[in-house]
Amino acid sequence: MQDNLFGDLSVISLRGGEQFASQVDYYLKEWRNHGEDKTYIVPTECPRFGTGEAKGAVHQSLRGHDIYIIADVFNYGVTYNMYGQQVPMSPDDHYADLKRIIAAIEGKARRVSVIMPMLYEGRQHKRSSRESLDCAMMLQELVGMGVSNIITFDAHDARVQNAIPLHGFDDVRPSYQMLKALVRAVPDISIDKDDLIFISPDEGAMGRSMYYASVLGLEVGMFYKRRNYSIVVNGKNPIEAHEYLGKDLSGKDAIIVDDMIASGESLIDVACQLKEKGVKRIFNFATFGLFTEGFDKFDKAYADGLIDKIFTTNLIYHRPGLIEKPWYCEVNMSKYVAYIIDTLNHDHSISSLLNPVQRIHNLVEKQKAGQGGQIKIEF
């Protein structure tokens, strides 16, 4: 083991995250001058019995290692056989496999960190009645099993970390990567307060839009959801309308910022209202693209001129066919995750990685100088 490392580096991918983990592994090998025959990925598996039961297995010793487990618990593209049926894995199934792998390590590792891009049960972060607090219970369970750090991206509400106040919890936002993808995909974008505005689709996303607007010196607008609290549909009060609060939008480009796209109904409703208010082009930044009801409504919105580009990361599973859509742009986060792992393995602070303000300013300066399509990628 090198003296400057916290421990021998090992990366574990749960089922469905192999492609992303291999990209992370590529950068780690490149930076550490290892050949193609070297890999930091540890072979593991969670074989299933015909009843759907499973076990976790690790196929090499991890005593004294610094382990990073990449867990995409929302990958429903992975299936298993149960009573002769192919069953898609649910977040509960993936989370159970995560615990199995941690248990298979047997407490021999020097440190275990979990990189869970979209937090398991992250939307169930607070109690509004007699409800379970699944996300908080998950965090407590993981640290109880010996996990030292939990790294997530754009948590629905990062205050859920209060459930584990004595352990590491890092909420990473891909702000720089989103802007970098925007200026490369839309070279003629004008990052000026007279031409561009950030829009929050609801009250909960306001902090994200305010961050972009503050760093870039732009304006921000907000929609708030008017709900019907007299009925409950699919576990929530239905939205009756989105009401706009903000300055005049005529002739401007707008970027709608949120943590995720689920069905897309709210996004398209907001886009319709923005067009009615004179917005020129509409872009969307969403860390996680779930597209739970498919692409049809997005195809129609693009054809109708409501949406120009949707940017989501590759941190979670993509529904097949998404990459080919003309309205879609993928934001690759593998190099950034590799930087985080490499820095932590050297036992250094990741504060500079989590604060991208200077990198954003450099990006904007290059874009305004007309270099938008040729910007050198940092991470």
Residue 227 pLDDT level (bands cut at 50, 70, 90): low
In the predicted structure, residue 229 carries a pLDDT above the cut 70? no
Whole-Å CA distances, 158 to 106, 123, 248, 372: 30, 11, 32, 33
pLDDT value of residue 218: 95
In the predicted structure, residue 260 carries a pLDDT above the cut 50? yes
Q: Could you tell me if 26 and 20 are in contact, meaning their C-beta atoms sit under 8 angstroms apart?
A: no
Q: How far apart are the first and last CA of the chain?
A: 27
Helix intervals (H) in 12-133 = 18-31, 91-105
The three-state secondary structure class of 219 is: strand
pLDDT value of residue 125: 84
pLDDT value of residue 150: 98
Instruction: Over range 251-256, report the average pLDDT.
Output: 96
Residue 3 pLDDT level (bands cut at 50, 70, 90): low
For the stretch 192-216, pLDDT in tens is 999 999 999 988 889 999 999 999 9
In the predicted structure, residue 345 carries a pLDDT above the cut 70? yes
Query: Residue 16: which of 65, 80, 67 has the closest Cα?
Result: 80
Strands (E), 48-153: 57-58, 65-70, 79-82, 85-88, 111-115, 147-153
Q: Could you tell me if 262 and 204 are in contact, meaning their C-beta atoms sit under 8 angstroms apart?
A: no
pLDDT value of residue 351: 93
Least confident of 22-31, 170-179, 272-281, 370-379: 370-379
pLDDT greater at residue 376 or residue 29: 29
* Beta pairing partners, 330: 312
Residue 1 pLDDT level (bands cut at 50, 70, 90): very low
Instruction: Over range 154-159, report the average pLDDT.
Output: 93
Residue 322 pLDDT level (bands cut at 50, 70, 90): very high
pLDDT value of residue 128: 82
* Beta pairing partners, 73: none
DSSP state at residue 373: G
Residue 372 pLDDT level (bands cut at 50, 70, 90): low
In the predicted structure, residue 377 carries a pLDDT above the cut 70? no
Sequence-separated (6 or more) residues with CB below 8 Å from residue 236: none
Q: Give percent above pLDDT 70 in the chain.
A: 92
Q: Could you tell me if 198 and 209 are in contact, meaning their C-beta atoms sit under 8 angstroms apart?
A: yes
Least confident of 127-136, 247-256, 289-298, 362-371: 362-371
pLDDT value of residue 234: 67
Sequence-separated (6 or more) residues with CB below 8 Å from residue 251: 195, 278, 280
What is the pLDDT of the chain when averaged over all its residues? 92
Dihedral-angle region of residue 220 (phi above 0 means left; psi in -120 to 50 means alpha; beta otherwise): beta
Instruction: Over range 93-112, report the average pLDDT.
Output: 97
pLDDT value of residue 236: 61
